[in-house]
Amino acid sequence: MPLINVQLFEGRTLEQKRAYAKALTDASVQVLGCSPEAVDVIFHDVKKSDWASGGKLWSDPE
């Protein structure tokens, strides 16, 4: 507890993911009172062609 699933457009660096995982872990520890070892973060990299908002793919031109 907890397991945090993060979906992002592909292209983030390992350093960005490390920093985000640390920030999410720190926030979980502060708010939930759990240990850092209890926090799992899973990143799902998604292509813009596989993500749509408002019926439009993010890969489509403006």
Q: Which of 4, 7, 15, 17 is nearest to 45 (CA)?
A: 7
**Residue 54 DSSP SS3:** coil
For the chain, the straight-line distance linking the first and the last C-alpha, in angstroms and rounded, comes to: 40
Residue positions annotated with a catalytic role: 2
